[in-house]
Structure 1
Amino acid sequence: MNLMNRFITKNEKLKLKFTDPTLLEQMNERILSWLPSEPHEYIIICIGTDRSTGDALGPLIGSFLSEMKPKHLQVYGTLPDPVHAINIEDRMKEIFKKHRYPYIIAIDASLGKTESVGHIIADVGSLYPGAALNKKLPAIGDIHITGVVNISGFMDYAILQNTRLSIVVEMAQIIAALLAKIDQQLTGAESRPSQKLNTNKKIPDPASSSQNSEARSQT
């Protein structure tokens, strides 16, 4: 891709079927183009719970990625230690206390149209976890990745619970491999914040956040 094309597409979201053989290369290039040029503390927040098959995408990714022992990505949200609706606000406070100015990649499962099932979506901006289930949770992430695990419709909670595990595991493996590929090309901050970061950055206020229609809703 030449520089002009890269400039044009830099801020456009990317949506690809998880079986697309070019997914790793395309998403790796797109996500790297979104990352800041200065070293940061890169945080991966994998949202979800293993109590629901469809919602297990996040913690599965966190567990798979942790097993790969990334050098520059710090992972929150695994099968043994998930980040979910009940503890997410406390975990965010913990992250911002431990990492002064983190650059966060938020990851979650989503529901969407029939033709979108099995797609992985990467986009700039925050993720609004729980939007499809009408849960008011804080906006999370500088960029986000979602996996469309099932169709959206009546009783979304039941749909998540009845999602096939096989597609969730396959998508989790692909996204974990993508993040591992990105990790290999990063320069870590070694737990020190960059001197050029915005010191006014703070945890988003859930009361002031509007729900994002792209996250956990009609995709």
Structure 2
Amino acid sequence: MNSQAATFKESTTINYKETGVVWRLSNHFLESIPFDHPNLVFCCIGTDRSTGDALGPMTGSFLTQLSSFPFQIVGTLDNPLHALNIEEITQELINSPSKPYIIAIDACLGNSGNIGQIIVHQGPLYPGKAVKKELPPIGEVSIKAVVNIGGFMEYNVLQSTRLNITFEMGKVISRSLLLAWHRYNLKVINNSDTDRNHN
């Protein structure tokens, strides 16, 4: 385990409407994501054909538009990472010369009190679980966004989810990731300045 992630709690939950959510979420990302990994990949899972399931590709599109976010993004509104291609693409990533460290991002369903929560946890997520699909787990770290209520007619629930919630949650996640990356860089610069001063 990367030393940066060693102090990370097993799971963290925060609502996207909370005050200071971007700063607070960036704290969790700094603790959990090894930004110094040589092959850090963000896999944004979902499809643009469903408003609820568009959270992943929408976040991926937001991230690709951020010129100062230098990491590989797999899954956008233009090229979604979904049930039909996820196994093949995941295998390609795993077989690449430099073993990837994957951050998996996906929408999920929960109870009514959990809608709007962003959950960050160590370990993989299981794409397609909300609609009873059996797909391989993906990710060393998972970022899940609760977009609607689960437990009944999940496919229809995802289809009828308000686009506004996926849009706003995707925006919060992407902005928080960018802020975490900038804060990580500042920390590296400050540490190197401190080392030079000591020497």
TM-score between the two structures when normalised by the length of structure 2:
0.84
Q: Which moved more, 1:62-71 or 1:134-143?
A: 62-71
Tell me which of 78, 92, 95 is aligned to 2:93: 95
| Aligned twin of 2:14 | 16
Conserved in 2, the CA contact under 8 Å of 1:14 and 1:27?
no
| Aligned twin of 2:105 | 107
Residue type of the alignment partner of 2:140: D
CA deviation vs aligned residue, 1:127-174 (integer Å, no higher than 9, x gap): 111112111111100101011000012110000000001111111111
Conserved in 1, the CA contact under 8 Å of 2:7 and 2:31?
no
Two-structure CA RMSD over aligned residues (Å): 2.2
Tell me which of 48, 51, 57 is aligned to 1:50: 48
Q: Aligned in 2, Cα 1:42/1:95: closer, same or farther, shift over 3 Å? A: same
Of Structure 1 and Structure 2, the greater helix share is in 2
Q: Aligned in 2, Cα 1:35/1:134: closer, same or farther, shift over 3 Å? A: same
Conserved in 2, the CA contact under 8 Å of 1:73 and 1:183?
no
Tell me which of 120, 135, 140 is aligned to 1:142: 140
Conserved in 2, the CA contact under 8 Å of 1:72 and 1:183?
no
Aligned length: 182
Conserved in 2, the CA contact under 8 Å of 1:41 and 1:72?
no
Residue type of the alignment partner of 2:10: E
Conserved in 1, the CA contact under 8 Å of 2:35 and 2:181?
no
| Cα distance in 2 for residues equivalent to 1:64 and 1:161 | 21
Conserved in 2, the CA contact under 8 Å of 1:43 and 1:102?
yes
Q: Aligned in 2, Cα 1:114/1:99: closer, same or farther, shift over 3 Å? A: farther
CA deviation vs aligned residue, 1:172-217 (integer Å, no higher than 9, x gap): 1111111111232457xxxxxxxxxxxxxxxxxxxxxxxxxxxxxx
| Cα distance in 2 for residues equivalent to 1:18 and 1:11 | 19
TM-score between the two structures when normalised by the length of structure 1:
0.77
Q: Aligned in 2, Cα 1:116/1:83: closer, same or farther, shift over 3 Å? A: same
| Cα distance in 2 for residues equivalent to 1:99 and 1:183 | 24
Conserved in 2, the CA contact under 8 Å of 1:48 and 1:108?
yes
CA drift at 1:16: 1.0
Tell me which of 159, 164, 179 is aligned to 1:166: 164
| Aligned twin of 1:176 | 174
| Aligned twin of 1:72 | 70
Unaligned runs of 5+ in 1: 1-6, 188-219
Secondary structure in structure 2 of the residue aligned to 1:43? strand
- Percent identical among aligned pairs is 42
Secondary structure in structure 2 of the residue aligned to 1:170? helix
